[in-house]
Chain A
Amino acid sequence: MAKTILSVDDSASIRQMVKLTLSGAGYDVIQANDGAEGLEKAKGAKVDMVMTDLNMPIMNGLALIKELRKLPAYQGVPILFLTTESDAGLKSEAKAAGATGWITKPFQQDQLISVVKKVLG
């Protein structure tokens, strides 16, 4: 069965790019516009991996990661975050919140796939 990835990003173009790339690699992708919507969708589906932007309105990525890790179903589910910053502070903050890894924007499609494979198998 195809694994399901939840993509949370306020940028429609990034969401679209992520969906195109990961669907092409054989994953099922569900999408959310912001952290709050992401949390709702995460609760309502069996998700194998979450990929979220950090900088989002309503609920930002850090808050989403923290909320997800409070859910028993999301203990151990890989969570990747998208970041443009080379800011180590933000990375360690996201890691401390429970993130598994990150992808630095801009990235190529094959880079995205290889990072997803790295944490999802």
Chain B
Amino acid sequence: MSGGGDPTDTFRQEAQELLEQLEQILLDLTRTPDNPELVDSTFRALHTIKGSGSMFGFDEVAGFTHHVESAFDLVRKGKVAMTAVLADIALAGKDHIRNLIERPESADPAAGKAILARLEATVGGHGAAEAPKPADAAAPIAAPTAPTAKWRVQFRLPTDALATGTNPLLLIDELRSLGQATVTPLLDKIPRLEALNATEIHIGWDVALETDKPKTAIEDVFMFVMDEMELKIEPIDEPKPVSAPIAAAPAPTVPAAPTAPKPAAQPAKSTTEALKSGGSIRVPAERLDNLMDRVGELVIAQSRLKQIAAASQDGEFKSISEEIERLALELRDTTMGVRMVPIAQLFGRFRRLVHDLAGELGKEINLTTSGEETELDKTVIERLNDPLVHLIRNSIDHGLESPEARKDAGKAAQGHIHLSARHTGDKVLISITDDGKGLDRARIRARAEENGLIQPGQEMSDSELFQVIFQPGFSTAQKVTNLSGRGVGMDVVKRTLDALRGSIDIASTTGKGTEITLRLPLTLAIIDGLLVRIGQGRYVIPLSAVEECVELPPVEESRVNGSNFLNIRGDLVPFLRLREMFNATTPPDKYQKVVVVSANEMRVGLVVDQVIGDHQTVIKSLSKLHKGVGTFSGATILGDGTVALILEIGHLVARGQRERNLKLAS
């Protein structure tokens, strides 16, 4: 076949063989002119001689053969009839080609022209095509240089370009080889994941190219795909910054571009500017409440939409649902943000209070505050006023000693009360710290036992014991002052905080002082909840109270009237069978779950049939008729429109602990 050696020699040999074949075919054609296979073979032989001839510098051969080939192409296409005469002319042409190849010096150009003239006469008006242009370059070897210019090249390949062997990276590399290129992908046409075929190209490219090559050199990069692709090559005007138009061009990756937040961001910006210039808008609080109500309704409607979308196969519907979810949550956060006011308002009120009390009680008090800028829901702040007044009064009255007593204890005559506020997660911590004498553990204990609030000898941690203070009717004050010691107050504080879904902790060191910490949710209206099912009913447990979920061991389950304790990593945790509490009539689920919740540093397990999942809970308060129901703090509307009751964790924990104490005592 074709080993080494000179391809030109191979061509001569090849041509010779082809010409011999051609002679036989043409002789056959003179006998059977209408045999299409013979016509095809003739055409192919001539075609090969022409193509290879041009390759190896036999331009005369290529030029002459081209005319004969063109004639047979017309025959092949049925435009000219094959005749014996034509076969004769072709035979003469074949001889001429042999002469041109083997003895080019002796070949007579006139003889060739005569043959072509006869051919022309036979083929008629169709005429032979023009001779091929020699050196019809396939690809530019080195593009001529031009003055350096900037171009913006934007291109998109046909989606099936990868399958047909086009590698876009090579195209980009080739563009880079032309000069300085900045390549930005255009991602706006990428379909959704479920519609995406990974073998297709959906990315376009925007290339800012600085090159000294002419535009044709850029076009040549795309020569094989030019006809099927989108290609825009535009000069970039020098004075304009290159990055600006480029950066604006790529659309966001997400097909449904979130345009909604943009206009929303605009007024927000102007608000910031307004704030900077000291301006703000006064809005009646009622309107904010209304707004919050509407947002709450929206969140409910949205969660319903989410539920339907989750069951749907429609990708577009799902993506819209996700978009609405995102917007609804943003709107909720923004609306809550509007309702937020700095706690400084509240702290400010207490200066006067402390000043007045100090005078009344003959104590010297220095009040300091920190974190006044901490923001809290307006409603929360309003409702915090009374409990805080109580707590501060208590600190001043019971906590801080008289100047003399302080001196005796080696402290500064002036007592110190510190109010602080800070954020932790979704909670706000407000603490009242005094450097007074601290809580008297023994006296609290004695008093609690006396009142039957705790069992004599019961082991309790400090924080557990201090919680007793908040029980109704508890007071250790020896004398009732105007300010405190009447046993009303602390339980009211506790109840207010419960209502705000907050908690209260006390830490105290005898002789050093007391720190009372209030933990409050940022807002009242919406909480993250854990949706559970008990029997046929669904209930919401505030997620902030949930510590963990475990399966109820079958052993425990079978012990219907047993101890009702769960061993969680060595800790005995009492649990409540909510099925029994709520009188569920349906058969219980095979595997009962226990949601371990905590409040006031105590834990209790709630046995439920099923843990459904987290749920954005918009709290609707219960009617006046149901105010007395301690087990539930409110209700919410689920995605499917049904109502779920929100469990009051503080109440349940207290109940669980009470049962535990009774069990342990007996």
Contacts and interface: CB of A to CB of B under 8 A. Distances in A.
B223 interface: yes
Nearest to B199: A75
A14 B51 contact: yes
Given A75-B199, A105-B54, A107-B55, A31 B1 contact: yes
A77 B165 contact: yes
Interface stretch (B130-138, B179-187, B633-641): B130-138
Question: How many interface residues does chain B have, given as a range?
Answer: 35 or more
A41 interface: no
Interface string B504-547: 00000000000000000000000000000000000000000000
Given A84-B47, A118-B174, A14 B55 contact: yes
Contact of B139 (A17, A75, A76, A114): A114
A95 B228 contact: yes
Contacts of B10: 12-13, 16
A118 to B, nearest CB: 7
Interface in B327-385: none
B588 to A, nearest CB: 55
Given A102-B224, A105-B54, A119-B165, A13 B7 contact: yes
Interface in B59-106: 62
A108 B142 CA distance: 13
A106 B163 contact: no
Given A12-B2, A84-B54, A99 B141 contact: no
B223 A10 contact: no
Nearest to A103: B138
Nearest to B17: A12
A84 B50 contact: yes
Contacts of B170: 118-119, 121
A102 B138 contact: yes
A86 B136 contact: yes
Contact of B134 (A92, A99, A106): A106
Contact of A111 (B3, B5, B141): B141
B163 A75 contact: yes
B6 to A, nearest CB: 9
A19 B93 CA distance: 31
A76 B165 contact: yes
A34 B489 CA distance: 102
Given A20-B7, A92-B227, A106-B55, A11 B14 contact: yes
Contact of B54 (A19, A106, A119): A106
Residue in A12, A69, A115 whose Cβ sees the most chain B Cβ within 10 Å: A12
B223 A101 contact: yes
A29 to B, nearest CB: 11
A105 B51 contact: yes
B35 interface: no
Given A77-B165, A119-B166, A104 B228 contact: no
Given A13-B2, A13-B7, A106-B136, A100 B166 contact: yes
A106 B136 CA distance: 7
A35 interface: no
Given A12-B14, A14-B51, A105-B54, A95 B227 contact: yes
A104 B132 CA distance: 11
A89 to B, nearest CB: 12
A38 interface: no
A15 B13 CA distance: 14
Contacts of A93: none
Nearest to B50: A84
A100 B2 contact: no
B253 interface: no
Nearest to A74: B165
Contacts of A107: 55, 137-138
B175 to A, nearest CB: 12
B577 interface: no
Contact of A99 (B2, B8, B135, B164): B164
Contact of A119 (B55, B136, B167): B167
Interface string B111-147: 0000000000000000000001011111101000000
Nearest to A68: B165
Contacts of A56: 44
B48 interface: yes
A55 B169 CA distance: 31
B591 interface: no
B44 A98 contact: no
Contacts of B44: 10, 55-57
Contact of A98 (B55, B141, B163): B163
Given A12-B14, A16-B10, A106-B51, 18 more contacts: A11-B14, A11-B51, A12-B10, A13-B14, A13-B56, A15-B2, A16-B3, A57-B44, A76-B162, A76-B163, A78-B165, A78-B167, A105-B55, A106-B134, A107-B137, A110-B141, A118-B139, A118-B170
17 contacts: A12-B13, A13-B7, A14-B51, A16-B10, A53-B51, A55-B48, A76-B199, A79-B164, A82-B51, A84-B51, A86-B136, A95-B227, A98-B164, A100-B165, A114-B139, A119-B165, A121-B169
Interface of B: 1-3, 5, 7-8, 10-11, 13-14, 41, 43-44, 47-48, 50-52, 54-56, 62, 132, 134-139, 141, 162-167, 169-170, 173-174, 199, 223-224, 227-228
